[in-house]
Amino acid sequence: MATTRQEQILTTAASLFAERGFHGVSVHDIGAACGVSGPALYRHFAGKDAILSEMLIGISHTLRSGGRTRVDEATDAKEALDALVAFHIDFALSNPALIVVQEREWTNLDEASQESVRELQLDYVDTWVTALRSLRPELDQRTARAAVQATFGLLNSTPHSARISTDAMAELLTQMARRALLG
């Protein structure tokens, strides 16, 4: 589990990476924004690449475990899908920098980290696909996966499009996601 300083570094780095891009940010920039020297970051991470890896693997774990929890706590398939939609919307609206970094910087991960993120994300997608197919059994696996991934595209666009209040945006995204998934 990350220490408070590690969490601060990850949060700060996410904001900087989202604003300036991975290659536009130095270890010194991250350290300065955290109030420590750049070299002090090496007590917590091996380098900037390790920060990005921890960040993207961490959010992938968060999404997968959060998705599984929502489904496990649901009493039926509709409640499970509604809970997944609400969970993802809350994550996207609460963590716009992480959404931007995930979208833009995945290719800057080393191969092993890319594989870890890919596996975690596919498992998260499959959680959604299972819930969706419980409600829409006429959808084959590939079509359900495409519908879920298209819905993620909609929900993850919020850092670029949220020009209304958070509550209004959450309600709008909820309605749009339900229509996209359930027809």
Cβ pair 131, 84 in contact under 8 A: yes
pLDDT of residue 1: 44
**For residue 137, what are the contacts with CB-CB under 8 A and spacing of at least 6?**
none
Cβ pair 19, 33 in contact under 8 A: no
- Point out the least confidently predicted range of 38-47, 60-69, 70-79: 38-47
End-to-end CA gap in the chain = 40
Query: Which tens digit of pLDDT belongs to each residue from 91-100?
Result: 999 999 999 9
pLDDT at 65 over 50: yes
Spatial separation of the C-alpha atoms in residues 102 and 10, rounded to whole Å: 13
pLDDT of residue 58: 97
The amino acid at residue 149 is Q
Which residue from 30, 64, 33 is spatially nearest to 49, judged by alpha carbons? 30
Which residue from 121, 120, 118, 106 is spatially nearest to 49, judged by alpha carbons? 106
Kindly state the average pLDDT of the residues 162-176: 90
pLDDT at 3 over 90: no
pLDDT of residue 4: 87
pLDDT at 183 over 90: no
- E-strand spans in the chain? none
pLDDT at 38 over 60: yes
Spatial separation of the C-alpha atoms in residues 104 and 140, rounded to whole Å: 30
What value, to the nearest 5°, has the Cα angle with vertex 81 and ends 154 and 174?
40
pLDDT at 131 over 70: yes
pLDDT at 101 over 90: yes
Place of tokens 């197919």: 133
Average pLDDT, whole number, for the chain?
94
